[in-house]
Amino acid sequence: MSDTPVIGVLALQGDVREHLIALASADALARPVRRPEELAEVDGLVIPGGESTTMSKLASLFGMLEPLRERVRDGMPVYGTCAGMILLADKILDPRSGQETVGGIDMIVRRNAFGRQNESFEAAVEVAGIEGGPVEGVFIRAPWVESVGAQTEVVAEHGGHIVAVRQGNALATSFHPELTGDHRVHALFVDMVRAVG
């Protein structure tokens, strides 16, 4: 891999465009990924925010669920925000019927844990591994992490709840750094992708 890794954004549903912009600002070559052939060509992948039930249904419909599981299992760096965090969880506490995940992070997540759409909020969040002060966390019907396994590192908490975790090459945040114009979390992920290359 060159110094400019190719990073995909899973583009089945959700805030794809914002992630493409944030990744490009963090010096990655960013492109949307919808099909297994496109997934095969990227060095890392972002799973955006949106609606996790819809996203998992579309992933299954597009024949992406197994290829995603396989690449994550093989160690491809992956970063999930909000609904993307839910997709990376090995277990959902309150899944909708038939809701599947890609998995990869040994954690249990609670969907919509911070409340409904009109209870969305912003808060300063200190993230381990990110210098220069807290990031502005945008929480939109956000999940939190109920519990983590021994291999999962908690990298941020808010209000006593886990809101960012890392396990190996997988990173997940309850909040949406792609909406803030502060690209430090994306830069951290780009560095994770570079480290694998």
- Alpha-carbon gap, residue 6 to 43, rounded angstroms: 5
| Half-sphere CA count of 10, side-chain side, radius 13 A | 35
Which of 18, 19, 158, 176 is an active site residue? 176
Which of 18, 19, 178, 183 is an active site residue? 178
| Residue 19 binds to ligand GLN (criterion: CB under 6 A) | no
- Alpha-carbon gap, residue 59 to 24, rounded angstroms: 24
Give least dist CB 159 to ligand GLN, A.
Answer: 17
**Which x/- pattern over 119-158 shows residues binding ligand GLN (rule: CB under 6 A)?**
---------------------xx-----------------
Bridge-based pairing of strands 29-33 and 6-10 is: parallel
- Report the residue from 111, 183, 186, 194 that binds ligand GLN according to the rule CB under 6 A: 111
| Residue 177 binds to ligand GLN (criterion: CB under 6 A) | no
Which of 82, 158, 183, 186 is an active site residue? 82
Residues in binding site for L-glutamine = 50-52, 111, 140-141
Active site residues per annotation:
82, 176, 178
Query: Contact positions toward ligand GLN, by CB under 6 A?
Result: 49-52, 82-83, 86, 111-112, 140-141
